[in-house]
């Protein structure tokens, strides 16, 4: 996918390839963590802007990266639900 393209997935399309990589040994020791973030709440809607880093072994080779995420939430029946997630990985050096 080109850097200026946007991929749109439903939940199943998002999970399937990731679950396969994590269960078949393609990606091992993977972890991702937030390095900074900010949350804005306005009534029953909220937005989380964050930066993240990630690391693991991809096909036996060191794999590292970082990027940005924007997560939108809405509150329904006292619970916060995710409405959308946008993220962009930083280009590899």
Q: Determine, yes or no, domain membership for 15.
A: yes
Q: Which residue has the higher pLDDT, 91 or 15?
A: 15
Residue 68 confidence (pLDDT) above 90: yes
Number of domains the chain is built from? 1
In the structure encoding, which two tokens stand for residue 21, read together? Answer: 């990589």
Please tell me the predicted confidence (pLDDT) of residue 3: 67
Please tell me the predicted confidence (pLDDT) of residue 33: 97
**What's the CATH number where 48 sits?**
3.10.450.50
Matching residue, tokens 């990266």: 65
Secondary structure of residue 78 in the 3-state scheme: coil
Q: Determine, yes or no, domain membership for 32.
A: yes
pTM for this predicted structure = 0.78
The pLDDT tens digits of the residues spanning 30-64 come to: 999 999 999 999 999 999 999 999 999 999 999 99
Please state, in angstroms and rounded to a whole number, the distance separating the CA atoms of residues 38 and 84.
Answer: 16
Please state, in angstroms and rounded to a whole number, the distance separating the CA atoms of residues 88 and 52.
Answer: 10
Q: Determine, yes or no, domain membership for 77.
A: yes
Q: Determine, yes or no, domain membership for 1.
A: no
Please state, in angstroms and rounded to a whole number, the distance separating the CA atoms of residues 84 and 77.
Answer: 18
For residue 16, the enclosing domain spans 11-89
């Amino acid at each position: 996918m080109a850097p200026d393209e946007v991929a749109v997935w439903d939940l199943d399309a998002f999970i399937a390839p990731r679950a396969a990589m994590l269960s078949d040994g393609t990606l091992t020791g993977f972890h991702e963590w937030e390095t900074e973030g900010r949350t804005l709440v306005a009534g029953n809607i909220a937005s989380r802007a964050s930066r993240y880093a990630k690391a693991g072994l991809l096909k036996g080779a060191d794999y590292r990266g970082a990027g940005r995420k924007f997560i939108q939430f809405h509150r329904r029946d006292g619970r916060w639900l995710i409405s959308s997630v946008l993220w962009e990985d930083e280009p590899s050096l």
